[in-house]
């Protein structure tokens, strides 16, 4: 039977033609962010539909902000987003590696090698490389960790800014990790402020919330007490429907209001009975009751954001409740200290609980610059967590990729058949990182790669990479150019998955979109 009636409204592309178009799309996306890689990488100016601008060289920010329609390009963007979520760095490397793997695969396909053979060779290469990671990694001491975080910020701001962000991020992560080997990212809060220098950024122990207690009569500092978090308020009930009251006797209205105040007092009495000393509500706390709270030694905060309440719940080991009437002993949290303080003229509530938390105040001179500083802190915090939880690092400057490629070529010699060519192509692909780093620094990429490979081989060292300041191969450990092994590992995994997924697609079917009439506006609009 003919397939024409089934596919009459579908455009079909198959075979080598379809694969060529997919690889072209992948290479185009990789080329778009290629120039942002490394400390000598350039920035991108992004302009949205409303004319707002954003200047950044963060690969995943560029990719996620740009409007991309091609499905293959979206696959690569998803891989970059996954890299950002898991490793917080290496997003640009993931896309560049995937593009290079596909380009090398295309050269093999032109020679008559089937895409499935290339995919099998790529999978074997990935598995072998992951085994070799243990040979090139080493454990970082405290002095090395700061250099590793600083390396993740290469190309983002000046050296003083990188030093400050690296130090503050590591301090914050260490505060959270004091009680546990794993770090809960949700216990690190980032507050950005315009005005001042990046070097003024600091990390504080405990959770800081830009709030002030509702009454100055309340205690400024409370030690070792119980806390209640309300996902609501402590206020008079609002009547949901229209209500008309006929007041016929003097004092009836005042009695009505007094009963409302008594209802609020009964809720406060329940807090007093349970020895609660701090109250935080997502909604308002009635002014008529704040003095009663202060008289009974309860420190209260109102209009606390839901996200802050969730963080407080984790730090104080408690739950949010809908109302005080529903309070049980299981809903009581505990804290070490709750304090109101003023920092740089702004009021903050600092609470320290049994669950360690940290707050970073990130400063920058302008609103545009503070957004870039926030992205830098996001990356450096993620890298710091990797260092604290894992502690193993590899050399940067492309050294680790060259070391893995050298091992992979020796492995290829043991594999018979055409898969050997695919493994060789994979080894060539992961060396692209050195070439792009040199290219962005204005250095000859081919000569640089050959020099690094030769020096690694002659010195039998996996630590030799490209020194972008001199343009010559150098020991990356001595230069302090290092990165967590998890970043390189995840970049290779993500890039390989994208490349193999694309190679396994042999048919592309585009359904034609029918023109649709917009919905008619409702009457009266």
Residues annotated catalytic, as ranges: 58, 91-92, 379
CA–CA distance, 309 with 233 (Å, rounded to integer): 13
DSSP state of 198: G
Tokens of 171: 């301090």
Question: Closest by alpha carbon to 355, among 152, 491, 187, 120?
Answer: 187
Question: Closest by alpha carbon to 300, among 267, 324, 277?
Answer: 277
DSSP state of 41: P
Tokens of 289: 């009751």
Alpha-helical runs (H) found in 210-319: 252-273, 287-295, 306-315
Contact (Cβ atoms closer than 8 angstroms) between residue 405 and residue 431: yes
CA 43 to chain centre: 20
Per the listing, tokens 């492995």 go with 411
CA–CA distance, 418 with 436 (Å, rounded to integer): 28
CA–CA distance, 227 with 274 (Å, rounded to integer): 10
Q: What is the DSSP string of 486-512?
A: HHHHHHHHHHHHHHHHHHT--EEEEEP
Tokens of 427: 């080894």
Which residues does 418 contact at the CB level (< 8 Å), separation at least 6? 113, 117, 121
Q: Which strands sit side by side in the sheet containing 202-205, from one edge to the other?
A: 188-194, 358-364, 202-205
CA 250 to chain centre: 63
Which residues does 131 contact at the CB level (< 8 Å), separation at least 6? none
Task: State the sign of the Cα–Cα–Cα–Cα dihedral 145, 148, 150, 152.
Answer: negative
**How distant, in Å, are the alpha carbons of 112, 353, 382, 477 from that of 115?**
9, 56, 36, 39
CA–CA distance, 414 with 177 (Å, rounded to integer): 45
Which residues does 449 contact at the CB level (< 8 Å), separation at least 6? 402, 431, 434, 435, 438
């Amino acid at each position: 039977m003919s397939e024409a009636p089934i596919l009459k409204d579908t455009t079909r592309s198959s075979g080598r033609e379809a694969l060529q178009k997919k690889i072209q799309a992948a290479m185009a996306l990789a080329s778009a962010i290629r120039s942002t890689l490394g400390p000598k990488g350039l920035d991108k100016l992004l302009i949205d539909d409303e004319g707002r601008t954003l200047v950044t060289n963060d690969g995943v920010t560029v990719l996620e902000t740009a409007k991309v329609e091609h499905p293959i390009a979206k696959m690569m963007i998803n891989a970059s987003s996954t890299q950002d979520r898991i490793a917080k760095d290496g997003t640009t490397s993931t896309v560049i590696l995937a593009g290079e793997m596909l380009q090398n695969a295309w050269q093999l396909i032109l020679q008559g090698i089937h895409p499935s053979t290339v995919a099998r060779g790529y999978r074997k290469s990935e598995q072998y490389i992951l085994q070799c990671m243990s040979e090139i990694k080493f454990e970082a001491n405290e002095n090395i960790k700061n250099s590793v975080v600083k390396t993740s910020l290469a190309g983002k701001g000046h050296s003083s800014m990188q030093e400050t962000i690296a130090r503050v991020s590591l301090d914050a992560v260490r505060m959270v990790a004091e009680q546990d080997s794993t770090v809960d990212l949700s216990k690190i809060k980032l507050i950005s402020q315009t005005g001042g220098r990046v070097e003024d950024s600091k990390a504080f122990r405990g959770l800081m919330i830009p709030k002030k207690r509702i009454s100055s009569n309340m205690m400024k500092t409370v030690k070792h007490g119980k806390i209640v978090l309300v996902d609501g308020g402590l206020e008079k009930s609002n009547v949901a429907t229209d209500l008309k009251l006929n007041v016929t006797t003097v004092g009836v209205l005042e009695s009505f209001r007094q009963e409302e105040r008594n209802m609020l007092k009964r809720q406060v009495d329940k807090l007093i009975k349970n020895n609660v000393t701090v109250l935080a509500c997502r909604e308002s706390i009635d002014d008529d009751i704040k003095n009663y709270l202060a008289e009974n030694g309860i420190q209260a905060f109102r209009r606390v954001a839901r996200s802050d309440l969730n963080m407080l719940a984790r730090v104080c080991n408690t739950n949010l409740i809908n109302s005080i009437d529903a309070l049980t002993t299981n809903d009581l949290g505990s804290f070490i200290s709750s304090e109101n303080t003023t920092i740089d003229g702004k009021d903050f509530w600092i609470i320290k609980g049994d669950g360690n938390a940290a707050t970073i105040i990130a400063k920058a001179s302008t609103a545009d610059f503070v957004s870039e500083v926030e992205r830098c802190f996001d990356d450096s915090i993620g890298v710091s967590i990797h260092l604290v939880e894992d502690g193993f690092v590899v050399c940067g400057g492309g050294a680790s990729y060259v070391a893995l490629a050298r091992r992979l070529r020796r492995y290829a010699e043991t594999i018979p058949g055409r898969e050997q060519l695919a493994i060789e192509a994979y080894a060539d692909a992961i060396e692209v990182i050195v070439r792009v780093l040199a290219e962005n620094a204005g250095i000859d990429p081919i000569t640089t790669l050959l020099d690094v490979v030769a020096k690694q081989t002659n010195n039998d060292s996996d630590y030799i990479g490209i020194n972008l300041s001199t343009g010559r191969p150098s020991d990356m450990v001595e230069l302090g150019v290092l990165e967590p092994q998890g970043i390189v590992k995840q970049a290779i995994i993500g890039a390989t998955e994208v490349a193999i997924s694309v190679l396994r697609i042999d048919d592309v079917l585009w359904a034609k979109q029918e023109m649709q009439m917009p919905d008619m506006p409702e009457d009266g609009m």
